[in-house]
Amino acid sequence: MAAEPSAAPRLVPVIFRRVGDGRPYPDHGLTGKDWAAVPPRQVRLADLVTTKRALDLDTLLADDSTMFGDLFCHVVRWRGELYLEDGLHRAVRAALHQRSTLHARVHDLDDDRTSSSDRANSEER
């Protein structure tokens, strides 16, 4: 009996771009009030890199898991990557509900770096 030709490789859907461990970017110094001033926008889950490797199931399954925090995830853009700083449980919950995007507050450290270098260049003149 002849072997059947192997099927074409299937693309496996992923939840996140990558699972990270820790925050590779410099400290941004944002407080809760600072984060609240950042308008939320939609972000694709597949574009996010997590900053935590572990997930607490009690928190994931809790009905009131966002009761005491920001309703929106906190994401930091650094060197072109989007890092999920806060809101891993909300992001996983969104994925479990078959959603590919979520609303997050995105702080852009790339813009901060550009603004800082622009200010330094203008001060030199």
Q: Does 2 fall in a domain? A: no
Q: Does 13 fall in a domain? A: no
Which residue type occupies 50? T
Q: Does 55 fall in a domain? A: yes
Q: Does 12 fall in a domain? A: no
Q: What is the pLDDT of residues 49-86, one digit of tens each?
A: 999 988 877 777 776 655 556 789 999 999 999 999 99
Domain count, the chain: 1
Q: What is the pLDDT of residues 27-46, one digit of tens each?
A: 999 999 999 999 999 999 99
Q: Does 88 fall in a domain? A: yes
Q: Does 51 fall in a domain? A: yes
Structural domain containing residue 66: 18-22+33-124
CA 62 distance to own-chain centroid: 21
User: Any idea what the CATH number is for the domain that residue 44 is in?
Assistant: 3.90.1530.10
Which residue type occupies 107? H
Contacts of 83 (CB under 8 A, 6+ apart): 20, 23, 24, 25, 48, 49, 50, 51, 75, 76, 77
Q: Give the three-state DSSP class for 1.
A: coil
- The region of weakest confidence among 72-76, 105-109, 113-117 is 113-117
Q: Does 11 fall in a domain? A: no
Exposure on the CB side of residue 107, measured as CA atoms within 13 A:
24
Q: Does 45 fall in a domain? A: yes
Scanning the structure block, which residue is given the tokens 């009905």? 63
| C-beta separation of 40 from 72 below 8 A | yes
Phi and psi at residue 49, in whole multiples of 5°? -110, 125
Contacts of 97 (CB under 8 A, 6+ apart): none
Residue 97 has pLDDT above 70, yes or no: yes
